[in-house]
Structure 1
Amino acid sequence: MTDHILHLTERAHWDAARAKGRYEISTRGRTLQEEGFIHCSTRAQLPGTASAFFAGLTDLVVLVIDPALLDVPLRYEAARPGGEEFPHVYGPLPVTAVVDVEPWGADTP
């Protein structure tokens, strides 16, 4: 069994993706087309991602993604040589690969 990967996003972006059948936001303020991939995290990496990129935002959700349901490449990559590797989804995320949606807020651990 492959571990799930996570993507933090604004609820409005997820709602729009559900209507289209695919999700195409890379990270806060950047689309898949601009970045080339969708930034994801492991469960342990998520708090750092939240504080670095989503501080001050409310109404956030965590997309829980099953890598086995992706129809695009998934790669674990570091931003710099020897750095921590994060999961990156190289293409639109099919909404069917999202197996759960969890709330995220200031009081979320």
Structure 2
Amino acid sequence: MSEPLLHITERSLWEAATAWGTYEMSTRGRTLQEEGFIHCSLRRQLPAVAAFLYGSYTGPDDLVVLVIDPDRLAAPIRYEAPEPGAEEFPHIYGPIPVTAVVDVEEWDRGQPRTG
């Protein structure tokens, strides 16, 4: 398996995706259709991404981290920076089949917990 891609989300969104067969949220509050791709990160990038997107999160759901095997994706993956010269992040240009998610980790305010 290539280096896994990670995506943090609300548990209810992931559970809905398991019923539909694909995950199609881009980032907090925005869909793949609205954004054009699904935002992801590498393991070393996850704490900063989670703090930026969910630092003030007080929603009813627990947060989970989807661990995605890029070799199981049909959609293109592009590493892109939000602005010139900035760090590049992986973006998936299509839906994520639930079969590409090889693990779901609990997110505990700064640290993923497997199980």
TM above 0.5, yes or no, is yes
- Provide the rounded CA distance (Å) in 2 between the counterparts of 1:10 and 1:103: 10
- Provide the rounded CA distance (Å) in 1 between the counterparts of 2:85 and 2:96: 27
Question: Is 1:108–2:96 an aligned residue pair?
Answer: no
Q: What SS is found at the alignment partner of 1:80?
A: coil
TM superposition score normalised by structure 2:
0.90
Q: How many residues align?
A: 109
Residue 79 of structure 2 is matched in structure 1 by 76
Q: What SS is found at the alignment partner of 1:45?
A: helix
Residue 99 of structure 2 is matched in structure 1 by 96
Identity of aligned residues (%): 64
Residue 8 of structure 2 is matched in structure 1 by 8
Deviation at 1:56, TM superposition (A): 3.1
Residue 49 of structure 2 is matched in structure 1 by 49
Deviation at 1:82, TM superposition (A): 1.2
Residue 18 of structure 1 is matched in structure 2 by 18
Q: Is there any run of 5+ residues in structure 1 with no aligned partner, and where?
A: none
Contact 2:47 2:110 in 1 (8 A): no
Q: Is there any run of 5+ residues in structure 2 with no aligned partner, and where?
A: none
| Aligned residues: CA RMSD | 1.2
Q: What SS is found at the alignment partner of 1:101?
A: strand
- Provide the rounded CA distance (Å) in 2 between the counterparts of 1:66 and 1:34: 24
Deviation sequence 1:52-80 (CA, Å, 0-9, x none): 01123350000000000001101110011
- Provide the rounded CA distance (Å) in 2 between the counterparts of 1:3 and 1:33: 26
Question: Is 1:61–2:30 an aligned residue pair?
Answer: no
Q: Which moved more, 1:51-60 or 1:7-16?
A: 51-60
Contact 2:50 2:110 in 1 (8 A): no
